[in-house]
Amino acid sequence: MASQEEVFKKIVAHCKEYGFVFPSSEIYDGLGAVYDYGQNGVELKNNIKKYWWDAMTLLHENIVGIDAAIFMHPTTWKASGHVDAFNDPLIDNRDSKKRYRADVLIEEQLAKYDEKINKEVEKAAKKFGDSFDAELYKSTNPRVQEHIAKREALHTRFAKALNDNNLDELKQIILDEGIVCPISGTKNWTDVRQFNLMFSTEMGSTADGALKIYLRPETAQGIFVNYLNVQKTGRMKIPFGIAQIGKAFRNEIVARQFIFRMREFEQMEMQFFVRPGEEMKWFAHWKEFRLKWHKALGLGDEKYRFHDHDKLAHYANAATDIEFEMPFGFKEVEGIHSRTNFDLSQHAKYSGKKIEYFDPELNESYTPYVIETSIGVDRMFLSIVCSSYTEEQLEGGDSRVVLKLPAVLAPTKVCVMPLVKKDGLPEKAREIMNLLKFDFKCSYDEKDSIGKRYRRQDAVGTPFCVTVDHDTLQDGCVTVRYRDTMKQDRVKIEDLHNLIDSQVNMRHVYRKLMQ
Ligand code: GAP
């Protein structure tokens, strides 16, 4: 069986071969951690964005959207704390000259302990069979207990070092744990230093020179600086939310794992403004709703977990991640943060404007507290592609690669195919396409054998193939072939629309979200 690493390599290759994701400016050998989306990738990405946008703004009458500029007044980033505190701790290996994030090296060490614990438990489960009690085993087996104790000690020490901003201690942990550079295999580490992740550029020119501005590292600040505009012009009453989808930029030190960590990426963020003191209630509410949103896609409930932050960002009083099981382990896809009134208060302080809300029910003014949900479009894309990629052995020794994408997100919903390129079948196929194409993204394929055409559609995740044959001209029926089961049904042309709609219309998922 292929290792997870090999599977991931195949997924990356598949994304390129089938027009989902290309390295940026590839003819010039690419640009580190920057990617372009191809003809299928952009459709999948747009569908993800639609699912999120509608779940926020269509299903919640108290959430509205905006689209703020990427460039913002530079004081924004001073006020938000990003100029002073948006740093990653980096460390270099002197032998390989490779640069790493110190916190990531330690997190990987923690994951190694988890792996050891899981291996022991799996081994014992095989040995003891049905009567095996994993929890009891973990709490009594001396070897497992030893691993757990080491993991806990490391975790406590790591969390303290992060919270104290103690860079020397981070280095000491790396040395004490015997963490080596994966390239050189040595422990010849430099000291840990802070590295600011914001890209800067210059705008126009003033008498004193050009103005230094930043490419936004999160979309959220575009929402905060527009809080008053939207609240007033939309006559919004607390609690209410502002949603936004847009590009963000971070000069990531270590950019690995394909589109998981990019230097230019896209976020879908929503700031929900609430009464002070009610933030924990809303934090719990949004945790629940966001997990439901993910699970409604049907990728498997067991693939998600919450992970509370060891170190809270400078603005937060509670924070959790929704993690998804990627081929390289459980990884953050979305963050849910209780940001207090930090951002609005800071912008009020730096701008000199009063940024408050008059609450008619309480008859008082206050600076609203904020719950933020923040998800990366690209990470969501990666999680969906990874969990949909399937290699199947078929009867007769044949095999296929199929992307079992949620039908609502699939780039193409239906491919219409005439069995042969003659006898009026292409014309009939075009007629059917004309019936469907205003509601569903369709493609047309008349080249190669039907088997080959099915494989091509499997590889890009098209849920329905519709074949027009000679009988179609007589009985008005077509053969519908389903991607996942490969089963085929004879369906009347006039029933096609309803059949496809029942699987691909997002309305059905929205209903689930509201239950
Ligand atoms: N406004 C809050 C904020 O930006 P974050 O946890 O730094 O919080 C939110 O980022 C989400 O943005 C992450 O959960 C992740 O999905 C995505 N994200 C962050 N950095 C990324 C990167 N370098 N490449 C791709 N996605 C990234």
pLDDT tens digits for range 49-100: 999 999 999 999 999 999 999 999 999 999 999 999 899 999 999 999 999 9
CATH number at residue 120: 3.30.40.230
Q: Is residue 405 part of a domain?
A: no
Domain boundary among 368, 395, 422: 395
Atom of ligand 1 nearest to the CA of 321: 14
CA distance 456 to 472: 23
Atom of ligand 1 nearest to the CA of 262: 24
Asked whether 38 and 21 are in contact (CB, 8 A), the reply is yes
| Domain shared by 228 and 317, yes or no | yes
Nearest CA to ligand 1 atom 22: 261
| Domain shared by 253 and 386, yes or no | yes
User: Is the shortest distance between the CB of 335 and ligand 1 below 6 Å?
Assistant: yes
User: Is the shortest distance between the CB of 331 and ligand 1 below 6 Å?
Assistant: no
Q: Is residue 35 part of a domain?
A: no
Nearest CA to ligand 1 atom 15: 376
Q: What is the bridge-based pairing of β-strands 414-418 and 442-444? A: parallel
Ligand 1 centroid distance, CA of 83 (Å): 17
| Domain shared by 62 and 97, yes or no | no
Beta-carbon contacts of 402 under 8 Å, excluding residues fewer than 6 positions away, are 390, 392, 458, 459, 461, 483, 484
| Domain shared by 202 and 60, yes or no | yes
| Domain shared by 343 and 273, yes or no | yes
Number of domains in the chain: 3
Q: Is residue 291 part of a domain?
A: yes
CA distance 81 to 354: 19
| Domain shared by 353 and 429, yes or no | no
| Domain shared by 355 and 466, yes or no | no
Query: What is the pLDDT at residue 1?
Result: 63
- Closest C-alpha among 233, 198, 200 to residue 217: 198
Q: Where are the alpha helices (DSSP H) in 142-203?
A: 142-163, 167-176
Q: Which one of 374, 377, 381 would you pick to mutate in the ligand 1 pocket, going by the greatest count of ligand atoms within 8 A of its CB?
A: 374
Q: Is residue 7 part of a domain?
A: no
Q: Measure CA of the first residue to CA of the last residue in the chain; give whole Å.
A: 40
Ligand 1 centroid distance, CA of 82 (Å): 14
User: Is the shortest distance between the CB of 333 and ligand 1 below 6 Å?
Assistant: yes
| Domain shared by 61 and 94, yes or no | no
Ligand 1 centroid distance, CA of 218 (Å): 8
Q: Is residue 32 part of a domain?
A: no
Domain boundary among 169, 195, 221: 195
Domain boundary among 395, 428, 463: 395
Query: What is the pLDDT at residue 321?
Result: 97
Q: Where are the alpha helices (DSSP H) in 437-505?
A: 450-460, 470-475, 493-504
Q: Is residue 61 part of a domain?
A: yes
Q: Taking the model in full, what pTM does it have? A: 0.90
Asked whether 275 and 387 are in contact (CB, 8 A), the reply is no
CATH number at residue 499: 3.40.50.800
- Closest C-alpha among 298, 401, 399 to residue 7: 401
Query: What is the pLDDT at residue 418?
Result: 98
| Enclosing domain of residue 434 | 412-513
Asked whether 19 and 38 are in contact (CB, 8 A), the reply is yes
Nearest CA to ligand 1 atom 19: 376
Ligand 1 centroid distance, CA of 376 (Å): 6
CA distance 326 to 303: 8
Q: Is residue 24 part of a domain?
A: no
Q: Is residue 146 part of a domain?
A: yes
Query: What is the pLDDT at residue 312?
Result: 83
Nearest CA to ligand 1 atom 9: 374
- Closest C-alpha among 375, 388, 379 to residue 260: 379
CATH number at residue 260: 3.30.930.10
Q: What is the DSSP letter of 303?
A: G
| Domain shared by 189 and 242, yes or no | no
Asked whether 375 and 333 are in contact (CB, 8 A), the reply is yes
Identify the residue whose tokens are 């990653």.
Answer: 88
| Domain shared by 420 and 496, yes or no | yes
CA distance 58 to 61: 7
User: Is the shortest distance between the CB of 267 and ligand 1 below 6 Å?
Assistant: yes
Atom of ligand 1 nearest to the CA of 255: 23
pLDDT along the chain (515 residues), means of 10: 86 98 97 97 98 98 98 97 92 95 94 92 89 89 93 95 93 97 96 95 80 96 98 98 98 87 97 97 98 97 93 86 94 96 98 97 97 98 98 92 98 98 98 98 97 97 98 98 98 98 97 92
User: Is the shortest distance between the CB of 262 and ligand 1 below 6 Å?
Assistant: yes
| Domain shared by 216 and 234, yes or no | yes
Query: What is the pLDDT at residue 207?
Result: 66
| Domain shared by 208 and 133, yes or no | no
Collapse the DSSP code of 379 into the 3-class scheme (helix H, G, I; strand E, B; otherwise coil) and give the result: helix
User: Is the shortest distance between the CB of 246 and ligand 1 below 6 Å?
Assistant: no
User: Is the shortest distance between the CB of 279 and ligand 1 below 6 Å?
Assistant: no
Query: What is the pLDDT at residue 254?
Result: 77
Torsion-angle region of 69 (φ positive above 0: left; ψ -120 to 50: alpha; else: beta): beta
